[in-house]
Structure 1
Amino acid sequence: MADTNRGVVYQGPGKVTVEDLDYPKLELAEQNGRKLEHGAILKVLATNICGSDQHMVRGRTTAPAGLTLGHEITGEVIETGRDVEFVKEGDLVSVPFNIACGRCRNCKERHTGVCENVNPARAGAAYGYVDMGGWHGGQARYAVVPYADFNLLRFPGDRDTVMAKLPDLAMLSDIFPTGYHGAYTAGVTTGSTVYVAGAGPVGLASATACLLLGAAAVIVGDMNPRRLEQARGFGCETIDLSRHGDVPEQIEQVLGVPEVDAAVDCVGFEARGHGPEGSAGEQPATVLNTLMDITRAAGGLGIPGLYVTGDPGAPDENAKVGQLGLRIGLGWAKSHYFVTGQCPVMKYNRQLMMAILHDRVQIARNVNAAAIPLDQAPEGYAEFDRGAARKYILDPHGAVRAAA
């Protein structure tokens, strides 16, 4: 007999609860009972709270009440559909947050963040996220993954080795590949100097990726002293933007010049002004304009930070539809290039998995991962919203705490 299912449900701005849910079926009720014989049911071993989830919980998107949250999923396969050939029951797997069919033009070109077949409204889908196709979220005891043979990344080796590294491997579903994507697309390489805007979990993951890629100096800017301390703990320089509004001047104090080779925006659309006077108010274009200011001519900007087309809580009418006051003329004059959009997780997750399994990186330590029971999700969301310098892993079956 199937076990009971519980999950984290968005109830409206500022409120999430943990509720009893239906046990998963290989179908999608929100898409007219669409059958998922190509899918798999997972026992969720780890599922993380993400800053993107927090945008919804703050009421800064058009997410409907009743949405089951969660797009960062790591688990064990316990059932497969009749069309699944290669994934087997008992496999331990990472789930890319992008849902991809593996069949469309974009998937075949490795642009899995904008799959053409998994969202009736637009290209691109994700679990438990607003306007992303109606797929159930993974902050639950059990979850469904479609197109399992294509989407799931199986962990190699013996079970004990994998379980011992579960806190690190749990970062492969989103933030580690997303942070890496921001660094890689900005052109970070051996000897680069880099500015990372934001010391939340994605920013810390991106700073980690910069170091993994061989950066000579990584400077992280934020307004949260605890998160900046976390960045310094694994070798980054930092700028406290609540005190120092002049970012080029602060960069010059570190590097001797007021610019960097590459920059990464890990903040997104809820950015605040810099300096003692500006830090209290939202200025959505602040980060992007700052990055253009401090990135050298012909340099690159990686932009994994989330920008949305609908923001009910935006500070002005333009920002409510994602229209921001960018100094695009500055970027054009400096021949910058920009890379935006969802990270195509499958482009990076296997390589990053191997870096974890072979002890080349300690991503869970760098983002200060902390496992909490599923039923404590509301407290985790509240603490994260207050600026906790942690990456919260929800642990529905106690597997992460057992690994630790």
Structure 2
Amino acid sequence: MRAAVLAEYGEPLEIRDVDRPTADADGVVVETEACGVCRSDWHGWQGDWDWIGSQPPKGQILGHEPAGTVVEVGDDVETLQEGDRIAVPFTLGDGVCPECRSGHGNLCENVRALGFTPTAQGAFAEEFPVPVADHNAVKLPDGVDAVDMAGLGCRFTTAYHGLAHRADITPGDWVAVHGCGGVGLSAVHIADALGGRVVAVDLDDDKLSDATRLGAEATVNAGDVDNVPREIMGITDGGADVAVDALGVAATCRNALGCLRRHGQHVQIGLTTSDEGGDIPLPTDMMVMKEIDVAGSFGMQPTRYDEIFSMVAADKLDPGAVVSGTIGLEDVSDTLQAMTTYDTDGIPVVDSF
């Protein structure tokens, strides 16, 4: 089968003919219908995250936002059969550790990151394996489009988990989203659906236009103002109730914290690049004096995907609205290269393998 393989960090992925995966006794093999190209793929392609032990090795098949059809089922799998259409979280849990058993499978003590570890080869391929499928595979509702569902593996669900579970948004709260890439635009759309009044921040007017389309009430081009937090405080009459750093660079993180009102909540979704190496200096005294709460969001528990599906059925959420277009497997490298200069919009999705 064809797959896009990481040969050298920062160099074009190699399209190779590789062996088809086989299902473990507790796993399934999935024919890939669609897979988002995520900024986390860019991080892996760059060779980032060695500082947290998550650097993908050379030879890895990337891709961690898939939707597809089950084509092989292991003997011990009980809840799936061939022909089922599924989405898969990138945080593959073992289903038995204390975190998984308590409903926090995204924080599994033995997590395998889809597309980043050799035991979890990714979905930039015609087929990919899913271990512990009864725990990790999420059946898609009838009739949904695979391209629309591709972002559920990472960006859309991470944003949803951060805003619906880790933050405490009530209708009318101001939510400032810093960075309007795929996860940031997902956060804009989700915050609006939860009743928030959204301020979107970016350096690109086209991305800010997308944010307006997805529900932002106000936008700030960070390149056009002297002080982003002060601008947001003016728009919100005192500061945002919730702020999201959807990029993971020092400027967006500090701006997100700085724009909060007293008792505000900061949600960190973006992971850092090699420039920060995992550490960003924060305005600690301000955080203390305003009693700011800080929360991280890492994927989402597969047991809670039904919350999103229910909101989709009620026409409150539309993951497909964040999808910017479709590409072929051979176009992934160019898309990753474009991410280096933030020259992509929304969620690009591979649908031709």
TM-score, with normalisation over the residues of structure 2?
0.91
Structure 2 counterpart of 1:187, one-letter code: D
Query: Among residues 254, 269, 279, which one is paired with 1:289 in the alignment?
Result: 254
Structure 2 counterpart of 1:393, one-letter code: V
Matched-pair contact (CA < 8 Å) for 1:193–1:262:
yes
Q: Which residue number corresponds to residue 14 of structure 2?
A: 17
Give CA deviations for 1:208-234 in whole Å, capped at 9, x if unaligned.
11011111x200111122211211223
Matched, 1:95 2:88: yes
Q: Which residue number corresponds to residue 288 of structure 2?
A: 332
**What's the secondary structure of 2:44's corresponding residue?**
helix
Query: Among residues 120, 136, 139, which one is paired with 2:124 in the alignment?
Result: 139
Matched-pair contact (CA < 8 Å) for 2:92–2:131:
yes
Separation of aligned partners in 2, 1:392 and 1:205: 13
Return structure 1 stretches of 4+ with deviation > 4 angstroms: none
Q: Which residue number corresponds to residue 382 of structure 1?
A: 337
Separation of aligned partners in 2, 1:357 and 1:44: 24
Instruction: State the shift of 1:178 in Å.
Output: 0.8
Q: Which residue number corresponds to residue 107 of structure 2?
A: 114
Matched-pair contact (CA < 8 Å) for 2:90–2:299:
no
Compared CA separation, residues 347 and 87, structure 1 to 2 (3 A): closer
**What's the secondary structure of 2:8's corresponding residue?**
strand
Structure 2 counterpart of 1:238, one-letter code: T
**What's the secondary structure of 1:82's corresponding residue?**
coil
Instruction: State the shift of 1:253 in Å.
Output: 4.0
Task: Report 1:5-404 matches (<5 A).
Answer: 5-26=2-23, 36-62=24-50, 63=55, 64-117=57-110, 124-129=111-116, 132=117, 134-157=119-142, 161-162=143-144, 165-184=145-164, 185-215=166-196, 217-236=197-216, 237-255=218-236, 257-268=237-248, 271=249, 284=250, 286-307=251-272, 313-314=274-275, 319-320=276-277, 322-346=278-302, 348-365=304-321, 367-386=322-341, 387-396=343-352
Give CA deviations for 1:148-172 in whole Å, capped at 9, x if unaligned.
1111111233xxx23xx33322222
Structure 2 counterpart of 1:142, one-letter code: E
Structure 2 counterpart of 1:324, one-letter code: I
Separation of aligned partners in 2, 1:265 and 1:303: 5
Separation of aligned partners in 2, 1:139 and 1:259: 41
**What's the secondary structure of 1:332's corresponding residue?**
helix
Matched-pair contact (CA < 8 Å) for 1:250–1:258:
no
Instruction: State the shift of 1:54 in Å.
Output: 1.0
Q: Note the residue ranges of structure 2 that are not aligned, 5 or more in a row.
A: none
Instruction: State the shift of 1:133 in Å.
Output: 6.5
Greater CA drift, 334-343 or 87-96:
334-343
Instruction: State the shift of 1:393 in Å.
Output: 0.5
Separation of aligned partners in 1, 2:266 and 2:303: 19
Separation of aligned partners in 1, 2:301 and 2:130: 15
Structure 2 counterpart of 1:344, one-letter code: M
Instruction: State the shift of 1:136 in Å.
Output: 0.8
Give CA deviations for 1:31-67 in whole Å, capped at 9, x if unaligned.
xxxxx31000000111111011112223434433222
Separation of aligned partners in 2, 1:5 and 1:340: 36
Separation of aligned partners in 1, 2:126 and 2:209: 33
Separation of aligned partners in 1, 2:153 and 2:5: 18
Structure 2 counterpart of 1:212, one-letter code: A
Q: Note the residue ranges of structure 1 that are not aligned, 5 or more in a row.
A: 27-35, 118-123, 272-283, 398-404
- Computed over aligned residues only, the root mean square deviation of the Cα atoms, in angstroms, reads 2.0
TM-score, with normalisation over the residues of structure 1?
0.80
Compared CA separation, residues 214 and 341, structure 1 to 2 (3 A): closer
Greater CA drift, 16-25 or 81-90:
16-25
Structure 1 counterpart of 2:339, one-letter code: F
Matched-pair contact (CA < 8 Å) for 1:188–1:213:
yes
Matched-pair contact (CA < 8 Å) for 1:247–1:290:
yes
